[in-house]
Amino acid sequence: MPQTALVIGAGPAGLMAADVLSGAGLPVTIVDRMPSVGRKFLMAGKSGLNLTKAEDAAKFADRYAETSPALRAALAVFGPDEAIQWANDLGQQVFTGSTGRVFPVAMKASPLLRAWLARLDAQGVQRRMRWRWTAFDADGCQFDTPEGPRQVAADITILALGGASWQRLGSDGAWAGQFAQVAPFRASNGGFRVDWSHHMATVIGQPVKATVLRAGDLMSRGEWVLTRDGIEGGGVYEVSHALMQGAALHVDLLPDLGVDDIAARLNRVKGKPSRATLLRKGIKLPVVKQALFNECAGMTYNSPDALAQALKSLPLPVQGPMPMDQAISTAGGLRWDALDGFALRDRSGTYCAGEMLDWDAPTGGYLITACLATGRAAAMQALATMPAASPVAGA
């Protein structure tokens, strides 16, 4: 009898594992508790699917916190170049933006997902939707399904159960109760609370562009947004790991000008100008940045030199992360010491991949690439442990 494979979770990690296993000739069934596959993947690509980041492989791998030798090895084999080639192989051409971020030419995730599912269908992958994994048993895995409880046994089982953000898209972290070695989930790549005064009401919802955010050792030039309850957006997400560790947040409102340049421009304003006049006429600061400066700088920065210093390092009084379910991703999850590579130490033939593992990374292509890389690595490790007489021994 040919070896059989069961993949639980139909996000990028699970789909990649199914792709590798079915491509090697195994009968594969993929199950998911949602009514359709790749729901978070599709949402991530709603405003442009950022597949990866075109940068040196070592620098790329350094962006992952809570990493492990297994994750670094997976990224070394499947990193930015391989993610680009993977998309091209599915007939989806990509382009690299000015910041190094890589997107499909079509921008959205749906054409890529359709092409991927077509390949999986051609390789014989079966899909079972609205199946919720509930537990292991001695013979396999138990599920709640629309037809009632089901039990499935397989020679290889890949768990790709996701993290604990975006519950409505299928990631609720409920699986964590089945394991003893789980690091608590925490929000990552999410917004942070700020208790704005009523003076900020006129700029809430506006983007803040052309700044540098700094927190700890991290910095970001990405765009971010003022919300009713705080700040969010790509620029914030890139420094969120440091903020979660308690680092203070500062913003450089004029990153392309030095302190001396700013002070010189402010000093050229004639008369005895007010601070508002200095900001408006001296450096032509946009309204949203003026409001932010007035909110956060206090009343002591009135001289041109003091204003220049403050504009280059304005403290933003963040008060903690937004609720975890509003985050793009989560850190925490199944600890690496529960695994040998990607194989569960206490359950033979079972492997884990994707965001359910305890790693963290910023947005910008790092999340999706690691899900693809770990899904592939888990499947490859499973194939490597199969008996020599298996139908894929010579593949």
User: According to the 3-state scheme, what is the secondary structure of 320-376?
Assistant: CECCHHHCCEEEEEECHHHEECCEECCCCCEEECHHHECCECCCCCHHHHHHHHHHH
In a domain, 373, yes or no: yes
**Is residue 240 within 8 Å of residue 191, measured between CB atoms?**
no
Last residue of a domain, one of 297, 316, 335: 316
For residue 280, the 8-state DSSP code is: I
Measured in degrees and rounded to the nearest 5, phi and psi for residue 225 equal -135, 140
In a domain, 389, yes or no: no
In a domain, 205, yes or no: yes
Q: What is the CATH number of the domain that holds 33?
A: 3.50.50.60
Report CA 112 to chain centroid distance, whole Å: 18
**Is residue 354 within 8 Å of residue 378, measured between CB atoms?**
no
277 with 347, same domain? no
Domains of the chain: total: 2
Angstrom distance (rounded) from CA 173 to CA 242: 23
14 with 139, same domain? yes
117 with 143, same domain? yes
In a domain, 273, yes or no: yes
In a domain, 334, yes or no: yes
231 with 115, same domain? no
In a domain, 393, yes or no: no
296 with 254, same domain? yes
**Is residue 82 within 8 Å of residue 380, measured between CB atoms?**
no
In a domain, 321, yes or no: no
Angstrom distance (rounded) from CA 190 to CA 239: 10
Tokens of 232: 């969010």
129 with 248, same domain? no
Last residue of a domain, one of 316, 345, 363: 316
152 with 261, same domain? no
Tell me which residue range forms the domain holding 114. 5-186+327-384
pTM for the model stands at 0.87
The mean pLDDT values, 10 residues at a time, for the chain of 395 residues are 89 97 97 94 84 93 86 96 97 93 93 97 98 94 96 97 86 91 91 96 96 95 94 91 92 96 92 87 94 86 84 95 88 95 96 96 91 98 81 41
**Is residue 289 within 8 Å of residue 248, measured between CB atoms?**
no
Strands 156-159 and 314-316: unpaired
Task: For residue 155, give the 3-state DSSP assignment.
Answer: coil
Tokens of 382: 């499973």
Angstrom distance (rounded) from CA 291 to CA 133: 50
20 with 137, same domain? yes
For residue 233, the 8-state DSSP code is: S
16 with 113, same domain? yes
Last residue of a domain, one of 285, 316, 347: 316
53 with 139, same domain? yes
In a domain, 390, yes or no: no
212 with 176, same domain? no
Measured in degrees and rounded to the nearest 5, phi and psi for residue 189 equal 55, 50
**Is residue 283 within 8 Å of residue 210, measured between CB atoms?**
no
Span between the terminal Cα atoms of the chain, in Å: 17
Alpha carbon distances (Å) from 228 to 143, 193, 195, 248:
41, 9, 9, 21
Residue among 278, 271, 335, 325 nearest 306 (CA): 278
97 with 209, same domain? no
Please report the pLDDT score of residue 393 as a whole number: 37
Write down the H helix ranges in the chain: 12-23, 39-44, 57-61, 69-77, 80-89, 110-122, 234-237, 240-244, 259-267, 275-277, 287-296, 304-312, 366-384
Residue among 116, 142, 124 nearest 28 (CA): 124
Tokens of 176: 């964590």
